[in-house]
Structure 1
């Protein structure tokens, strides 16, 4: 099928042109607002040539094409009436209240999630060491390591002040000062006690590990700043706005938001524990069964306030324990497909997805395997439900926030720990066996519907057909910290659907984004946030600056390179203002992927966790 035929088919499977309310695109996907999503046939859309996957999130219907998205978008422009088009500058979608709430919670907790997990593992290991008498809780070693594990939880209001400020676009340092006041030593000494403010008696809530008071405070700051912007002369705004914000909101948060947050946290925790107490096995089975369906729709973030409320009130949480088996169940289903499929590409995808599940990442299995085979996803849900039932019946619990994975097992040490381990591996085994016998659809492979990446022999270049590429060393595009692609906060990139690659988190406020390779700039965007480069031997690299930064409509990006221009390693693609990108609530990670990587492509010498300078050798792509 050519691009026009692909686009015509896509429009038809979306329910026709009249069902498309608006559409736009970013560097990898078409983003639709549909009048009625029920009219869209997701299965048929995923089987259209060049479609990588379909993602429904935050009220958007997203069809992932990779770098081909511009061609399809241009065809869409020709076929859809102009009234249905939406420019990127209009892209700040209106969401319903539920989607907006989930989006907010996700934005607040995602940036600190992996730090929470790392901290939780330290706390879990210390619990094991002290219970086995390998370490005394009074020792200096314990005190130092406990500080490493507990600091984020103790100062959680300050961390949330930063993420809330970025999401709500409030003054970052004022927000941080408000969060700091809640855990200030003199205030901390008054937790649970009565004091006075302007001769009025007030009770001081416990702000350590609290969630709601600082969220209420930053929401208030957002509206207060709007009022001050209109009323305070610009010449003195920088002085008086922070003064007024702190003098009003710190007392308000301590006096009002603290008690309200404490009441809300206690009520949420009590409500969940009461429901959980009615029948722990049924509650565990229910959450375990539906957990990954919640992940697909993004609504699992709604559980995090409950999780934090439980940990704050009881010192532990049971949701994570019954949720955990559902993650590895998806890997079990991927393993079942691995054992049955004869498609070489699917074998590679399913094997990677299987392994990633043991590290707490289910998206690779969901979007790369189980949703493709449909019944496999159901088999994984059954495995997750069984695992959740076992963990629930045993009252298994987590003492800190950590997504269930083999490295995070120490977090679950204590009551019901052995049953949790049984539940975890039982979920994997049951999902694998059920998928092997009942979840594999021969018709998918027979009809060629199994997902396939671009094959190396189909790529045009200066090499002979079928020959492997020579090893290629790429440069770092920016100064920053190197991270794994699987850790990026975007499911499509993290799953490898857009090729293998890596991420550099910028550590400078403003800097040039440099080309990692020699080649020709074959893809550019009016939004200046992403660039495609094709090397002389046919490798196609995507350099994507930030996540969802298409919404900025080119703001914070300047001096973009022109399309079809030859570029060398280390030459600038554009200049990005990473400080402003982050301040506006966007992840500023610079992603580099090899779009036409194959099942045998390997990335060597990656400096994960290290700080690199632009033009440093970053990694080697080897076939």
Structure 2
């Protein structure tokens, strides 16, 4: 599209050109750059670009908030920058950056976000489809023995069951290593003999270890690809050029296969178990506290871009516990954002503000909260307090009532089927969040004459649904 191409050209110029890009990924609403020299960023120019909602530096990434058209802008940027040239230019720079950030705690969030961002849309579609199937079969509206169920169940399960393959590819892109070898590692984890013998003890090199079912797992493949990136880089460097095509894959397989199945796989699997059990413990002994804290901080996490790091935790909960307790909290927090916008719409006197607030309400109602955050919460300030309180209270309610998600999906009411079994609780929590936040926003009020920054102005333009 013409507008997307113009935006991509302006953004590319603003971040210092294609030679300054170390890596580039995108999530549902943001472009996420890792740059060689952040001093080259022309922040004000980028934020003045039509269609850009805002920018921020977070955990080593320079993030440009675009909104729902981000895939189009991302595609144009890749075309302008040149995919092959980016990969060739950034391989050594990425290695340098990894070394510099090795012990930086924020790098963990950066890596998880970079690996998960490209597959979020697949999660959203598969999660909603899974929820619909669960709803239909629970109430005997669809027979599980039919061919239709067989096909749709395969479509909804594939993304989650074969998640190691998806993360192998995105992790390889993130760590700048060979994608094919990363996919082979995922294939080792998912090999039928490994899956079918999960739980049995075997030995190699005199060391006993347990085989684990790695379908839907997250941490094992990410750990393996990360380590493989160093192994692959080192063996490629020291191998004679005439032997590299054979020697590199052989050495990588010989080194990474035992490391993956004997160390990283079980380690990552057990880390996932412990994380899931921690959240289960927290929500069992103090569900209102866990729900309140999660719901209260949700808008702040979305604003800073760190909300993506919750995705692997939620997916791991579903795989290890059979359900996730965080999804319902995020859902009602999203509905609370819609309530904030609706309250701001009712309170506003100026027609321009009423129109912008209502547009933000529509966007938040379908699960996209960033326009609401930039156009309402962080512009007027007081509505942000209302949103945090509304999200916290509604989150505490659904957590205390035991709401659960049976699949991973977009946190919005359009994903309601994934909460089958606790849908009334989620609906009640959504009503609490919406009404409470709307009332608090109306009562607290806001100064309509607060000068708009560039992010708020662009948010209003992109808010229109």
TM-score range normalised by the length of the shorter chain: 0.7 to 0.9
Aligned residue number for residue 425 of structure 1:
431
Shift of 1:195: 3.7
Write out per-residue CA displacement over residues 61-81 of structure 1, whole angstroms, 9 at most, x where no aligned residue.
88999xxxxxxxxxxxxxxxx
| Distance verdict in 2 for CA 1:498–1:254, change over 3 Å | farther
1:110-189 equivalence runs, <5 A: 110-189=117-196
Contact 1:390 1:420 in 2 (8 A): no
SS of structure 2 residue aligned to 1:283: helix
- Distance in 2 between the 1:200 and 1:60 partners? 41
Aligned residue number for residue 369 of structure 1:
376
SS of structure 1 residue aligned to 2:105: helix
Count residues in correspondence: 398
SS of structure 2 residue aligned to 1:55: strand
1:204-243 equivalence runs, <5 A: 204-243=211-250
Structure 2 residue runs of 5 or longer lacking an equivalent are 1-36, 67-91
Relative to total residues, which structure has the larger helix share, 1 or 2? 2
- Distance in 2 between the 1:64 and 1:409 partners? 27
Contact 1:330 1:377 in 2 (8 A): no
Q: TM-score, normalised by structure 2?
A: 0.78
| Distance verdict in 2 for CA 1:56–1:171, change over 3 Å | closer
Contact 1:116 1:402 in 2 (8 A): yes
Contact 2:417 2:423 in 1 (8 A): no
- Distance in 2 between the 1:142 and 1:60 partners? 42
- Distance in 1 between the 2:337 and 2:284 partners? 28
Contact 2:201 2:211 in 1 (8 A): yes
Question: Is 1:436 matched with 2:442?
Answer: yes
Write out per-residue CA displacement over residues 579-602 of structure 1, whole angstroms, 9 at most, x where no aligned residue.
xxxxxxxxxxxxxxxxxxxx99x9
Shift of 1:383: 1.0
Shift of 1:158: 0.5
Aligned residue number for residue 3 of structure 2:
none
Write out per-residue CA displacement over residues 70-113 of structure 1, whole angstroms, 9 at most, x where no aligned residue.
xxxxxxxxxxxxxxxxxxx9999766723211111111111111
> Structure 2 residue aligned with 1:248, among 244, 252, 255?
255
Contact 1:326 1:387 in 2 (8 A): yes
- Distance in 1 between the 2:242 and 2:350 partners? 67
| Distance verdict in 2 for CA 1:140–1:252, change over 3 Å | same
Aligned residue number for residue 298 of structure 1:
305
- Distance in 2 between the 1:241 and 1:64 partners? 40
Contact 1:328 1:357 in 2 (8 A): yes
Write out per-residue CA displacement over residues 16-36 of structure 1, whole angstroms, 9 at most, x where no aligned residue.
xxxxx97322587569xxxxx
Write out per-residue CA displacement over residues 349-408 of structure 1, whole angstroms, 9 at most, x where no aligned residue.
322211111221111100122100000111111111111011011110111111221221
| Distance verdict in 2 for CA 1:53–1:163, change over 3 Å | closer
Shift of 1:166: 0.6
Relative to total residues, which structure has the larger strand share, 1 or 2? 1
> Structure 2 residue aligned with 1:318, among 303, 322, 325?
325
Structure 1 residue runs of 5 or longer lacking an equivalent are 1-20, 32-45, 66-88, 453-491, 501-598, 603-623
Shift of 1:211: 0.8
- Distance in 2 between the 1:281 and 1:331 partners? 22
Shift of 1:116: 0.8
- Distance in 2 between the 1:408 and 1:216 partners? 31
Contact 2:371 2:460 in 1 (8 A): no
- Distance in 2 between the 1:64 and 1:279 partners? 35
Shift of 1:413: 1.1
- Distance in 2 between the 1:59 and 1:121 partners? 32
Contact 2:327 2:405 in 1 (8 A): yes
RMSD: 3.2
- Distance in 2 between the 1:426 and 1:409 partners? 16
Write out per-residue CA displacement over residues 564-619 of structure 1, whole angstroms, 9 at most, x where no aligned residue.
xxxxxxxxxxxxxxxxxxxxxxxxxxxxxxxxxxx99x9xxxxxxxxxxxxxxxxx
- Distance in 1 between the 2:38 and 2:216 partners? 42
1:524-603 equivalence runs, <5 A: none
1:318-467 equivalence runs, <5 A: 318-414=325-421, 416-444=422-450, 449-450=451-452
- Distance in 1 between the 2:338 and 2:38 partners? 36
- Distance in 1 between the 2:62 and 2:215 partners? 39
Q: TM-score, normalised by structure 1?
A: 0.59
> Structure 2 residue aligned with 1:274, among 281, 289, 297?
281
| Distance verdict in 2 for CA 1:344–1:236, change over 3 Å | farther
Contact 1:325 1:427 in 2 (8 A): yes
Aligned residue number for residue 23 of structure 1:
39
SS of structure 1 residue aligned to 2:264: helix
